[in-house]
Structure 1
Amino acid sequence: MLRRKINDELARWNADPHHKSLIVQGARQVGKTYAIEHFGEAHYERVVTLNFEEHPEYKAIFSGGRDAASIFAQLSLFFPGVDFTERRVLLFLDEIQSCPDAITSLKFLTMDGRADVIASGSLLGIAYREVSSFPVGYVDHMSMHSMDFKEFLWGMGLGDDVVAYLKGFFDRREQVPDAVQERMMRLFRQYVVVGGMPEAVQRFVDTNDFSKVLQVQRDILAEYGNDIAKYAVGSEKARARACFLSIPKQLARDSKKFSYAVVEPKSSARKYGGSLQWLYDAGIINFCYKLTAPELPFEGNADNTKFKVYMRDTGLLVAMLEEGSQKDILNGNLGIYKGAVYENIVGDMFAKNGKPLYYYERNNSLEMDFFIRYEGQATAVEVKASQNRKAKSMQSLIEKHGVVHGIKLAPGNFGTVGDKVEVMPIYMAMFL
């Protein structure tokens, strides 16, 4: 069984005597159902699961009266003998996006309190549009992503002691021993290719066969396509699919700013902006917004009309590339996708650490891959797939634009460029 961080988050939620009904949101196939059911089996006398996609008949439970008494009366017909009292039973509402009435009912289930309730869905950002009354103030929220690099290391058999050992080098800004550095870079490249989808990681752990991993990833991509066909409305189906398929081409460009013309010549946000938002709401992509000035506060300086788009799982991005891309990445030969893949993985790592994504560009001559708030400062982050220690753009930002701290993430070891730019192994992004 793969160890997931959300297990600890669910335990903390359960231990809070004032917890409410919980909504766990995340993209398809990130492991929500397995994690919640495993948690329920460990902490409750029984788990009652209502999967609204597998059993549409469960929707009738919430289509009449939405008060708790009516809901539990209906539940007793489907699950005779289950004692929904004293929070001994976990009621798990899975794929709740297929039953908007159940989302509204979470308010009354929280107020009633006789059973703990966890709701989960892969397209909740889409389904919220159909909810007549969202239970604001009556639910707790939790997000689940595909596995981050730390979870991947756990899956590969490395424990907390190894992660703490690596964190020590980060904290001290100390050179990582060559043998350790080589091992970590090999694991990092494997993570880039495998990604964090639990089924893909488990397949790799079990077989060490990248071709089998690729088949899992392509099956997941096919499911994403099916979701677009099923849940997108009208012309949005074709547009969302076109935006989705354009992502590798977008990231292969010298300027990685999303261009609607790559999706369709002479196109614009008016036609495709809603489709991109659909992909974001479905948990498939992340936006990285352009800053008008390289300074805090980032939200106040962001231009939301200009952005880059990254896949939320880099393994799935690699699976969208042409045959042989896995081997090229493992060998460090990324071709035109060199910058794209490494930028995507760092953006993915930052997002999983809860950081909003921003970049900076000035007159098409100066670009910085990311800006993050680090130790209270606006910190420039440059991502490189080679060990080149030059940092021309970052030095320009420091000398001419008031930036006081820069971090360069690369395959090499710790070091410095000047007195304000730190060089770090790229996998150390998990600690930023």
Structure 2
Amino acid sequence: MLERKFTSVLEDFLLENQNKILLVNGARQIGKSYLIRYVGKRLFANFVEINLKEDKEGEQVFAAVHTTNDLYMRLSNFYSKPLGDKSNTLVFLNEIQSYPHLMTMLKFLNQEGRYRFIASGSQLGVALAQTPSVPLGSIEIQEMYPLDFEEFLWATGISKEWIESIHSQYVNEEALDESTHNLLLKRFQYYLLVGGLPEAINAYLEDRNMLKVRKVHQDIHNLYRIDSSQYDAEHKLKIRRIYDMIPSNLENKKKRVVYKKIENKTGKHFSDYADEFEYLSNSGVAIEVLAISNPRFPLAESEQKHLVKLYLNDVGLLTSLLYGLNVNAVLQDIRSINLGTVYESVVAQELKAHGFPLRYYDNKQKGEVDFLIDNYERLQVLPLEIKSGKDYTEHSALSKFLATPEYGIERAIVFSNEREIFQKKGITYMPIYYCMFLKKDVTDTNAVVLPELETI
């Protein structure tokens, strides 16, 4: 079994939070159902799983459920042995977006407290938008993603203790020795080829046969294309077209979506495709990055939704589409191959998995910077530039960005293949694999405890 960080999220919630229902959102084929099943069976004597997508496409046993008693009756018929109570019974409503009316019912199931419930879906954002009464206060939504690079290292035999020692060097901005650097860089290159989808990783671990890995990528990519077309007749072709355009858009100098190319019509704008972008983002098959022209902390105040970049949710899918079975495109330093798109994609995937809203800098005079994230410790914006070639110290847009006094930016990071870590003109140069240590969460819990108020 692949070890996942999300396991602790499930365990902590099911053991400690007795007053809400957890909804796990994420793209299909990232391991949601498997992990919930694994944790649920371990923690509860009675584990009941209902796949509502299969039910909707089959007997539709749960389609006519409109009261909690209806649901309890069908559950008792579905499960072969007597159910217990909230202390020992977990009911898993898999692919709950298939029946939006059950989303509303979660509030009442939670209030009655007869059993513990957990739900998952690949399009919960879309389903919640279509739900007439969202059960806020009764649910908690957690996002799950493909395996990040650190989880891939675990899967390939790198111990947590070894990674922790590397993390301490990252914190101290120390370079690794040559042999460790080469080992990590090679693992990173393999991650670019295999990606973070569990089925692809398991296929790789079985016998390192890239033919099998690429077959998994092709199947999942086709599945995403089919899923992304199941919106309605008006939108489905545009959704598929936008999704299919992602790799070619990323190969352009300006990687953002060109709206007139979606339907080959001039005069098109973001507003014409807002529903399609929302679907692709909410279903988890695409990662959306919004533009910032006035980079001030917090970045949420300055988002521009009309200039959008899209990345695939998994870098393995991207390298499969771009290079097929030619692994040398990634493993060897081939001058004609520009891996900038691939490197940006994997950093987008890492940042998304680590909780960062994704933004990039766009300015007609100064150019573009790949990513901007909020630095909560310094209450500043932290720019990130991703480089895959030998020219990693050449970045005119980033230099102009830092030289703009009104932005008040003191520091930036450039990630590249180079081992050495050094600072120059406010920029810290780091090896690309260190991107796995970028975290949004505050780790020092004492830092978020408010002091007592003065008495009046």
Q: 1:212 to 1:364 in 2, by over 3 A?
A: farther
* 1:413 has 2:424 as partner: no
Take 1:260 and 1:349, find their aligned partners in 2: how far apart are those partners? 27
> Could you tell me which residue of structure 2 aligns to residue 221 of structure 1?
221
CA distance in structure 1 between the aligned counterparts of 2:223 and 2:43, rounded to whole angstroms? 32
Moved more, 70-79 or 25-34: 70-79
Equivalent runs, 1:256-267 vs 2, <5 Å: 256-267=255-266
Match of 2:444 in 1: none
Matched letter for residue 300 of structure 2: E
Distance (Å, rounded) in 1 between the aligned partners of 2:59 and 2:139: 21
Partner of 2:236: 237
Is the aligned partner of 1:425 residue 2:431? yes
Q: Deviations over 1:370-396 (max 9, x none)?
A: 111233221111100024334433332
Q: Provide the residue aligned with 1:397 in structure 2.
A: 401
TM-score, length basis structure 1: 0.94
Match of 2:381 in 1: 378
Q: Distance in 2 between matches of 1:130 and 1:400?
A: 44
Answer yes or no: is the 8 Å Cα contact 1:250–1:262 preserved in 2: no
Change (3 A) 1:364 1:249: farther
Q: Unaligned 5+ residue runs, structure 1?
A: none
Q: TM-score, normalised by structure 2?
A: 0.89
Higher deviation after alignment, 30-39 or 372-381: 372-381
**Alpha-carbon distance change, 92 to 10 in structure 1, aligned in 2, over 3 angstroms:** same
- State the shift of 1:193 in Å: 1.3
- Structure 1 residues 312 and 302, CA gap change in structure 2 (3 angstroms): same
Specify whether residues 64 and 241 from structure 1 end up closer, same or farther in structure 2 by C-alpha distance, changes over 3 A only: closer
Which residue number corresponds to residue 193 of structure 1?
193
Please give the per-residue CA displacement for 1:270-308, whole angstroms capped at 9, x wherever unaligned: 543322222112111111111121221211111111121
Partner SS for 1:41: helix
Residue identity over aligned pairs, in percent, reads 29
1:260, 1:64 → 2: CA distance?
42
Q: Corresponding residue for 1:282?
A: 283
In structure 1, how many angstroms separate the alpha carbons of the residues matched to 2:109 and 2:128? 18
**Could you tell me how far 1:359 is from its partner in structure 2?**
1.1
Cα distance in structure 1, aligned partners of 2:86 and 2:384: 50
Q: Which amino acid aligns with 1:291?
A: I
Deviations 1:320-356 (A, max 9, x none): 2253554301224384652211111111111111011
1:397 CA drift (Å): 2.0
- Match of 2:232, SS? coil
Instruction: Give the distance between the partners of 2:233 and 2:300, measured in 1 at CA.
Output: 33
Task: Please state how far the C-alpha of 1:46 moved relative to its aligned partner.
Answer: 1.9
Q: Look up the match of 1:348.
A: 349
Q: Is the 8 A contact 2:339 2:388 kept in 1?
A: yes
CA RMSD of aligned residues (A): 2.0
CA distance, structure 1, for counterparts of residue 182 and residue 313 of structure 2: 26
Maintained 8 Å contact 1:252/1:337: no
Alignment partner of 1:144 is 2:144: yes
Shift of 1:398: 2.0
Q: Structure 1 residues 131 and 431, CA, compared in 2 at 3 Å: closer, same or farther? A: same
Give, as a single letter, the amino acid of the residue that structure 1 aligns with 2:167: K
Equivalent residue for 1:81?
81
Structure 1's 390 and 417: CA in aligned 2 closer, same or farther, altered over 3 A? farther
Task: Identify if the C-alpha distance between structure 1 residues 316 and 19 changes in structure 2 by more than 3 Å, giving closer, same or farther.
Answer: farther
1:414 to partner: Cα distance? 3.6
Equivalent residue letter for 2:235: E
Residue 295 (structure 2) aligns with: 294
Query: Any residues of structure 2 matched to 1:313-392 within 5 Å, and which?
Result: 313-324=314-325, 326-333=327-334, 335=336, 337-363=338-364, 365-374=366-375, 375-376=377-378, 377-387=380-390, 388-392=392-396
